[in-house]
Amino acid sequence: MFNDNVRLFGRETRKARDIKVTLRRFAEYLSAYKLSLLFVLIFIVSGTAMQVAIPLLIGQAVDCYLAPGTPEAAVSCWYTTPDPSAPAAANLAGLGQVILLIVALYLGNAVLSGLGFYLMSVAGYKMLRNLQEDLFHHIHRLSLGYFGKHKAGDVMSRITNDIDTLQQMIGFGLLSVIQGTLLIVMIVLAMFGSSMPYALVSLSILPLMFIATRWFSTQARRAFRQARKELGDVNANLQENIAAVREVQAFSREDENIEQFRSSSAATRDANIRAQAFSSALAPTLEALGYVSIAIVVGLGGYFILTNQSFFGTTISLGLIITFVGYVQQFNRPVQQIAVLWTNLQSAIAGGERIFDLMDESPDVTDRPDAIEMPSIVGQVVYRDVWAAYNPDEPVLRGVNLEAQPGQTIAIVGPTGAGKTTIINLLARFWDVADGAVLIDGRDVRDVTRHSLRAQMGIVLQDTFLFSQSVMENIRYGRTEATDEEVIAAAKLARAHDFIIRLPDGYDTVLGERGSGLSQGQRQLLAIARVALLDPRILILDEATSSVDTRTERQIQKALEELLHGRTSFVIAHRLSTIRNADQVLVLDQGQIIEWGTHDELLAAKGFYYDLYMSQFRREGEESSPVAHFFPG
């Protein structure tokens, strides 16, 4: 059963590598704006139809009024039948009507296209907002294991840079591609309606255009996908170096890090150059093929006019040639426009694939469909034959059993890698057991929602994270409805009030990134105040004061005693004074509890704990110093 369950940690998720899948998922987001899209479709179809009608009217102007011939040789005239003997004034009037209609169609197409682009931009940006919000929400649903395997900079790149590529494409770019595709379809239909044989010859070059477009676009999309990946690595490298700038300078690693950044940046440059090479080659290739198509239309049509022959039953006229030249030019224009936009389109698709790849990542820990809200916790905690692993077939905990009664303090000690942190990760459901069960008040933690479970827990970690907000907002972070008086009371309990009021703006002082400007001990005091404000039923201290100096530790020791009172608490590798006062001390080694009991009982047993105490704590205990680390990690 252990092996079956642990496979969940290594499962593969479905990746959005198919362009059809990616486009379909974009369409699902756009479907929320069906009404706007319906008007966009009406405007674009109407405007495109007007655009397609213009070459036909130009052909009419030639065959019906400028060089009228026989009815059989003319483009179908909308206003009059061609009559070579008609007075010039009559033909001039008809020509004027056609010109006015052409101008009206140009204006109508411009207005309708403008409205369509505006509505499409509005719908597109709303869609992107929803996509970004869903992505941000999904990131918060992912389990901690995902962030242990993926760099924060790469995740940030997907929310910022990859979304930015979509913003560049949504609106004008996307609608230009749609309108261009629609124009191509309408032109083909119009050409076949005018003369099927002539249309087939005129479009004979189309298969070559399709082959060229498909090959260049496939290569470009692969290159852009690689470019997006390389950019994510650059952002990850940049984010890491900025966050660790003190360590970089302390170890004189500036030159090495600059060289590393130069290497990753060069990889991004090379990938983008390759992508641009394929994208840039597509437009001139299609343009050249377009000129070949025009040459075929003019050359073939001119031959049949000069030889006075019909072409498979179609009489070729000058107006028909001009009409088809206009169609071919119109046909080539959207093809070339799409080719120009193909760079952004391929980049957007590659960015979309990366976004949906992230959204397809399934959390390792989820709420069951029938999960209930956790009732008010009393505080009994039981681990029943618990196995846990972060990687398949590499268990971190092996058959752990323990029981904590309400209000008890459980100290967990042991060497690095023994599984101490894993025990509390299972309690808060940051991970799930691979086998066995963790029970709170007799209820399996997997049967309740994670939010209702964690809302009744307080966690203080060694590496305190503070936000770039005021001191008041940082303490209030887990309980936003708390009053200022309650925040101040929590700060006093944590012995943080005295140093807070000495800050430039007191509780309104805005902290720097991650609490820069405060000492490690001050940041830790704020973290303890944050937890005190929550008034949790279960308290977890993971190396909570290992980075605090002796004076600061003495300040918060009484606060911790008050905070621990009446709560079920788990304390990992904490101070000697806390271990001495714990109701139970659990000694872990290689994922198993090898000893348990009170501090005095374990010393009397003269086992593993006794040896550790004698080697690590004896001198500190004799000097009555509270400063002692018990194998931190």
Confidence of residue 389 (pLDDT cuts 50, 70, 90): confident
CA gap 27, 337 in Å, rounded: 22
Torsion over CA of 39, 41, 45 and 48, rounded to 10 degrees?
100
CATH fold of 456-571 reads Rossmann fold (3.40.50)
Q: Which sequence spans correspond to the domains of the chain?
A: 18-359, 367-406, 456-571
pLDDT tens-place string over residues 123-147 = 888 888 888 888 888 887 777 767 7
- Give me the chain's average pLDDT, please: 77
Domain 18-359: give its CATH architecture: Up-down Bundle (1.20)
Q: Are 618 and 445 in contact (CB under 8 A)?
A: no
Higher confidence at residue 15 or residue 363?
Answer: 363
Q: Which residues contact 124 (CB under 8 A, 6 or more apart)?
A: 30, 170, 171, 174
Q: How far apart are CA 528 and CA 491, in angstroms?
A: 8
Band the pLDDT of 274: cuts 50, 70, 90: confident
Residue 393 CB burial class (10 angstroms; 0-12, 13-18, ≥19): exposed
pTM above threshold 0.75? no
Q: How confident is residue 8, by pLDDT bands cut at 50, 70 and 90?
A: very low
At 320-376, the pLDDT tens digits run 888 888 888 877 777 767 766 766 677 777 778 888 888 887 777 888 888 899 999
The C-alpha torsion from 42 through 43 and 46 to 47, rounded to 10°, is -160
18-359 with 456-571: one CATH topology? no
pLDDT tens digit sequence for 222-247: 777 777 677 777 777 776 676 666 56
- In whole angstroms, what is the distance from residue 523 CA to residue 245 CA? 20
Spatial CA neighbour of 416 closest among 632, 253, 217, 104:
632
